[in-house]
Structure 1
Amino acid sequence: MTVLERLKALRELMKERKIDAYLVPTDDFHASEYVGDYFKCRKYITGFTGSAGTAVIMQDMAGLWTDGRYFLQAADQLEGSTIQLFKMGEPEVPTVHQFLADKLEKGMCLGFDGRTVTAREAGKLEELLREKEITFSVNDDLIGEIWSDRPALSCEPVMELDVKWAGESRADKIAKIRKQMKEKKADIFVLTSLDDIAWFLNIRGNDVHCCPVVLSYLVMTDEELRLFVNETVFSEEIRANLEADGVEIYPYNDVYSYVQTIDADQKVLLSKANVNSRLVSNIPAEVTILDEENLTLLPKAIKNETEVENERIAHIKDGVAVTRFIRWMKETVGKEKITELSAAKKLCQFRSEQENFLGDSFDPIIAYGKHAAIVHYSATEETDIPFEARGMVLADTGGHYLEGSTDITRTVVLGPVTDKEKKYFTAVLRGNLNLGAAKFKYGCTGLNLDYIAREPLWAMGEDYNHGTGHGIGYLLNVHEGPNSIRWKNIAGSPAAVLEEGMLTSDEPGYYLENEFGIRHENIVLCKKAEKTSFGQFMCFEYLTMVPFDLDGVDPEQMSERERNLLNEYHRDVYKALSPYLNEDEKEWLKQATREI
């Protein structure tokens, strides 16, 4: 069916069920950022393939809300669909909540699949629409009813992560979380975030593309730990190891009936921002719910010594692969045909030559020329274009290794560039270097530091429409909370203190529609610096080891300090990578990291 046919079928079903508006978020049943094919209901009903967005379908209109990363992509993919694009955060554009509050009339019915909407979001909607006496229909998956060729739920085999990679045993993690439960006076801990469960149990899977997680729910008391999952994904050995640590296996969907049996005098700790509304609504009303962040959130984000050392190794391996890739692009363009898709395959080949490489940490973004102005552009057979020996290509890619996950962006010059391109290339690089060199007092969040990266652009009255940094998981999700670097506070998502051991991206950018796009990204490790009478100071260590393309740099725009920062970084890159390169590669890298 076409998008228009799908909308018609959904509206007929809504009319039959007396549902006036149907909300379709991007989420799976676990509030994941990226979701498996089974859960891509929003993509199915709208045709928009971006990783973030919410659709609202009514009889007389349909709308899609997405953020600045996807404005250009969404406008293109929604063309001819009759679906209106709402550009989130833009002036006079209503939020989804504002739209529903304005559009829904008294006594109307709002529908959604309660498994794909968090308990916190459902609560906000109920509060928002109470005065209009809006009713809710949340137990039906209407998209699933019209999606005749829907993919099956993923059930990929599970891998157990050895302590030499994880740095801490499953048993020790369980003991620590149970201790936290006692401190919180919680009888039961409900955990549904897939990356938290994978981290907690030292398991990895493949149930979400590029995210090594396992579809599962976890419920823990002081005496038992139940994992609700498709039991066929475990080998006998892994299942026995789990059972030895007190982990009992139950069918995936049984979690909903299990929580109905919780005694009224129990206290259940869960995060309503992560647990879906149907699961929470199945907990008896008399039960006390302690709505707090997941107990695993900070321990997962603060990497232990083993994880940190392994990540250093992973980034050197990745640096070798990406550096070879950059050299190959610059030396091959104009001599052989290279396209966005073939370049991505070539980079994957370079990475696969590294020991313990497991796969991409996200779909590669290889964007040439004006395509790079689309922040999260993803090449397809229809959009794939060849490189020319001019202009720039933006390569935002990453890999999963047993030693950890990587995420790196380099904007590479393939030939002559304009003064304007050099101007913004250099401004973005200055922001990246200055943020990476920041020293700050303990207690700062990314809100305190974001200005450092944006200042060169803000001084020109320019900006970029995305955050500057996100946390990164250890052989897990490439986007991981709670740490981030952004200038704007987000309601309900307070900025986290930057702790020693957190990994965060440093990725300012600049995008000029229909012309070019630039982004420079390194992963930084938060570390303690000196402690003085004013308190504990913190700093960053670069983990990413790949040269920035000096062919795009205008040294005249840089201060002496900024030039020194770049030269120092490039000295570190050469020292880290040269032992793993042949003589020709070393000579190329020496030139690529020359002092300016």
Structure 2
Amino acid sequence: MTHQIQQFHVKGGPQYGRENLPKLRASLAKAGLDGFLIPHEDEYNNEYLPANAERLAWATGFTGSAGAAAVLGDVAAVFVDGRYTEQVKSQVDQSLFDYEDLVKTGMAGWIRKTAKPGQTIGYDPRLHSPDVLTKLQEAADKTGAKLVAVETNPIDQAWEDRPAAPLASVHPQPLDVAGEAHGDKRKRIGEDVKDDGADAAVITDPASIAWLFNVRGGDVACTPLPLSSAIIEPSGQATLFINEAKLTDATRSHLGNEVAIRPETEFADGLKALSGKTVRVDPATASVWVVQQLDGANATVQRKSDPVALPKACKNSVEVEGSRQAHIRDGAAIARFLHWLDTEAQSGEMDEIRAAMKLEEFRHMSPQLKDISFETISAAGPNGAFPHYRVNTDSNRTLEKGSLFLVDSGGQYPDGTTDITRTVPIGAPTAQMRRHFTLVLKGHIALSQIRFPEGTSGHALDALARQPLWNAGLDYDHGTGHGVGSYLGVHEGPQRISKAPNAIALEAGMIVSNEPGYYQVGDYGIRIENLQVVTPAEPVPGGNRSMLGFETLTMAPMHQSLVDTSLLSKDELVWLDAYHADVRKKVLPLLDGAAAAWLAKACEPILGATP
């Protein structure tokens, strides 16, 4: 994967729905369907999609990373979660699509209240997981409507200028950054499949493919994924189904004799060959189509989580050290950018696009940068109140004096993936801005300092980051922490820190974000995000439980002019000073000149400092 400056042209918008919804309805009429369900995900359940899989954006104009739509002959709806309640208003024509809550209502709730008896509603079985489809089917049954699987997606038929499927080269991930040979990984995963009584496991998550075979690709922007599928046996032998044009000679040699390579078009045949066997399939990530193929072959489907997901999430010592180094390297780029924000950008004449490009320019100073890890959230003033805002030429705002600027960004390096958010004042911040920032900071510190017993899930820790805001009658509508891959996805499961229940315990080696925030619609947004890795904690005298804690990986200062020290306890001030001392120690050697001087000052201690 080679890095590129991100583009800022408008990728979605109301015109998409106006132009394409009639085309879709015409396509449905030809297929004899009364309606169609449109998830955001593609055939691989990706969060970020290749251009040819942007079906939701084509039909509605909505470009967020989570959502869905449902279309009937006389009504349609688009579904988004709390991150996108403002974005959807600017991208989707409300005269064509009703706005619905993806979490509270969802497509199942909409079907229950909208579908009519006898209606036939189509769905693409390659785009829905069995878990999701079960809920949709139950909703349709209650209304008397019928869900029908389609062989050819009607959107693909109506999409006249649909881009070609991606064809990026797949390269080996070297052992000195992977930390474990793919043969050893395959044997380990194969043993797990065997212990669960299965004869094989189907792997459909491209991130799991990348980790399992120690390869990286470039089929998806910002994430080095090789779009492909695999079947692994208890012996550790595997079959990789992939467009062979993606494989270099070096990659074929790297995969070796224990990995059979077959064209992606033969995946159905590979599934049918499992006739009579017990096959492990993840019902949350694999598609209904996979299950249908296995059912048709009289295989026994064992519905269980992807056997790669948890081992991939628990980084080995080489991966953890790689992440540390990647974050120090990335910290130098962030420091140069924050220095720029504190100097040139204080003019009140810079804008969001120029700021995003400047940050990428600083990241590109590292020859090890492969790509950004997601499109930079460069949000000035009121745009910062949209948690997942994406700047474009239509929405671009100036960084005006008296406002806050929120920047959420990350880089892809061969040894690690970064994700960091900082909030910076343009001009002098108001007392209210400082109060809100400090409440968010208090929650961030609480989550970074916590010790917790082994077996604790992120769900149990989420309230720590929210408590200072809750005490003030405030909150935020997104999760507090997501997993992050090792030169892989910036959003990775199965662990998370969120209000939503999650039974997956945090384990040593897992990397998670710590990102509480506060969003004042029409005014500003505040978020503080560091990545941190779960580590064994020192034994507590008198304690009787094995404990875990967090080590902070992200190395970049907080803007101290936004900190209201009167709201911080001494312990919180000690944490902030210690963090800044660590940033200074690790990042300062990579800087020189004015940026180095700026970082040294930005990391000065608060306790003991001269008033």
Kept in 1: contact 2:108–2:136 (CA 8 A) = yes
* TM-aligned CA deviation for residue 128 of structure 1: 3.6
Q: Structure 1: any 5+ residue segments left out of the alignment?
A: none
* TM-aligned CA deviation for residue 140 of structure 1: 2.4
Distance 1:81 1:3, change over 3 A: farther
1:235 counterpart residue number: 248
**What per-residue deviation string (whole Å, max 9, x for no partner) do you get for residues 278-329 of structure 1?**
1210113432111111110111000000001111000000111101100011
2:408 counterpart residue number: 396
Q: For residues 101 and 519 of structure 2, what CA distance do their matches in structure 1 show?
A: 17
> Of residues 582, 585, 593 in structure 1, which corresponds to 2:592?
582
1:173 counterpart residue number: 185
* TM-aligned CA deviation for residue 245 of structure 1: 4.4
1:73 counterpart residue number: 87
Q: Does 1:196 align with 2:208?
A: yes
> Of residues 375, 381, 384 in structure 2, which corresponds to 1:372?
384
Distance 1:80 1:269, change over 3 A: closer
* TM-aligned CA deviation for residue 508 of structure 1: 0.2
1:513 counterpart residue number: 521
2:122 counterpart residue number: 111
Q: Does 1:314 align with 2:326?
A: yes
2:548 counterpart residue number: 538
2:39 counterpart residue number: 25
Q: Does 1:43 align with 2:86?
A: no
Code of the residue aligned with 1:47 in structure 2: it is G
**What per-residue deviation string (whole Å, max 9, x for no partner) do you get for residues 547-593 of structure 1?**
00001111111112211111111111111112222253333222111
Matches within 5 A, 1:349-360: 349-360=361-372
* TM-aligned CA deviation for residue 225 of structure 1: 1.6
**What per-residue deviation string (whole Å, max 9, x for no partner) do you get for residues 93-119 of structure 1?**
633111112322223212111111112
Code of the residue aligned with 1:110 in structure 2: it is I
Q: Structure 2: any 5+ residue segments left out of the alignment?
A: 1-14, 607-611
TM-score (norm 1): 0.96
Q: For residues 59 and 218 of structure 2, what CA distance do their matches in structure 1 show?
A: 25
Q: Does 1:524 align with 2:532?
A: yes
1:3 counterpart residue number: 17
2:602 counterpart residue number: 592
2:508 counterpart residue number: 500
1:281 counterpart residue number: 292
Q: Secondary structure at the match of 1:535?
A: coil
Matches within 5 A, 1:431-442: 431-442=443-454
**What per-residue deviation string (whole Å, max 9, x for no partner) do you get for residues 491-527 of structure 1?**
xxx3310100000000000001110000000001111
Code of the residue aligned with 2:48 in structure 1: it is Y
Q: For residues 208 and 50 of structure 1, what CA distance do their matches in structure 2 show?
A: 15
**What per-residue deviation string (whole Å, max 9, x for no partner) do you get for residues 362-409 of structure 1?**
000110111101111111111112223432110100001111100000
Kept in 2: contact 1:356–1:402 (CA 8 A) = yes
Q: Does 1:268 align with 2:266?
A: no
Q: For residues 512 and 520 of structure 1, what CA distance do their matches in structure 2 show?
A: 15
Deviates more, 1:440-449 or 1:72-81: 72-81
Kept in 2: contact 1:3–1:81 (CA 8 A) = no
Aligned positions, number: 587
Distance 1:415 1:188, change over 3 A: same
* TM-aligned CA deviation for residue 125 of structure 1: 2.5
Q: For residues 258 and 298 of structure 1, what CA distance do their matches in structure 2 show?
A: 25
The Cα RMSD (Å) is: 1.6
1:97 counterpart residue number: 108
Q: For residues 583 and 15 of structure 1, what CA distance do their matches in structure 2 show?
A: 66
Kept in 1: contact 2:272–2:293 (CA 8 A) = yes
Q: Secondary structure at the match of 1:566?
A: helix
**What per-residue deviation string (whole Å, max 9, x for no partner) do you get for residues 134-181 of structure 1?**
241332200001000000000101121100010001111111111112
* TM-aligned CA deviation for residue 442 of structure 1: 1.1
Overall identity of the aligned pairs, in %? 34
* TM-aligned CA deviation for residue 334 of structure 1: 4.3
Q: For residues 549 and 38 of structure 2, what CA distance do their matches in structure 1 show?
A: 42
Q: Secondary structure at the match of 1:249?
A: strand
Q: For residues 257 and 317 of structure 2, what CA distance do their matches in structure 1 show?
A: 23
Kept in 2: contact 1:28–1:116 (CA 8 A) = yes
Matches within 5 A, 1:445-484: 445-484=457-496
Q: For residues 2 and 452 of structure 1, what CA distance do their matches in structure 2 show?
A: 42
* TM-aligned CA deviation for residue 81 of structure 1: 5.1
Q: For residues 105 and 76 of structure 1, what CA distance do their matches in structure 2 show?
A: 30
Distance 1:79 1:129, change over 3 A: closer
Q: Secondary structure at the match of 2:508?
A: coil
**What per-residue deviation string (whole Å, max 9, x for no partner) do you get for residues 198-237 of structure 1?**
0101110111111110110101224642111110111112
Q: Secondary structure at the match of 1:356?
A: coil
Kept in 1: contact 2:440–2:517 (CA 8 A) = yes
1:52 counterpart residue number: 66
1:561 counterpart residue number: 571
Q: For residues 382 and 126 of structure 1, what CA distance do their matches in structure 2 show?
A: 40
* TM-aligned CA deviation for residue 336 of structure 1: 8.2
Code of the residue aligned with 1:557 in structure 2: it is L
Kept in 2: contact 1:398–1:407 (CA 8 A) = yes
Kept in 1: contact 2:348–2:399 (CA 8 A) = no
Matches within 5 A, 1:144-163: 144-163=156-175
Q: For residues 450 and 201 of structure 2, what CA distance do their matches in structure 1 show?
A: 38
Q: Secondary structure at the match of 1:310?
A: helix
1:219 counterpart residue number: 231
Q: Secondary structure at the match of 2:392?
A: coil
Q: For residues 364 and 301 of structure 2, what CA distance do their matches in structure 1 show?
A: 46
Q: Secondary structure at the match of 2:407?
A: strand
**What per-residue deviation string (whole Å, max 9, x for no partner) do you get for residues 333-372 of structure 1?**
2448422111111111111112411110000011011110
* TM-aligned CA deviation for residue 459 of structure 1: 0.2
Kept in 2: contact 1:314–1:403 (CA 8 A) = yes
Q: For residues 515 and 106 of structure 2, what CA distance do their matches in structure 1 show?
A: 27
Kept in 2: contact 1:107–1:135 (CA 8 A) = no
Code of the residue aligned with 1:371 in structure 2: it is N
1:249 counterpart residue number: 261
> Of residues 101, 124, 140 in structure 1, which corresponds to 2:152?
140
Q: Does 1:571 align with 2:585?
A: no
Q: For residues 88 and 55 of structure 1, what CA distance do their matches in structure 2 show?
A: 9
Q: Secondary structure at the match of 1:388?
A: coil
User: After TM superposition, where is structure 1 displaced by more than 6 Å over at least 4 residues in a row?
Assistant: none
Q: For residues 333 and 294 of structure 1, what CA distance do their matches in structure 2 show?
A: 46
* TM-aligned CA deviation for residue 271 of structure 1: 0.4
Code of the residue aligned with 1:406 in structure 2: it is T
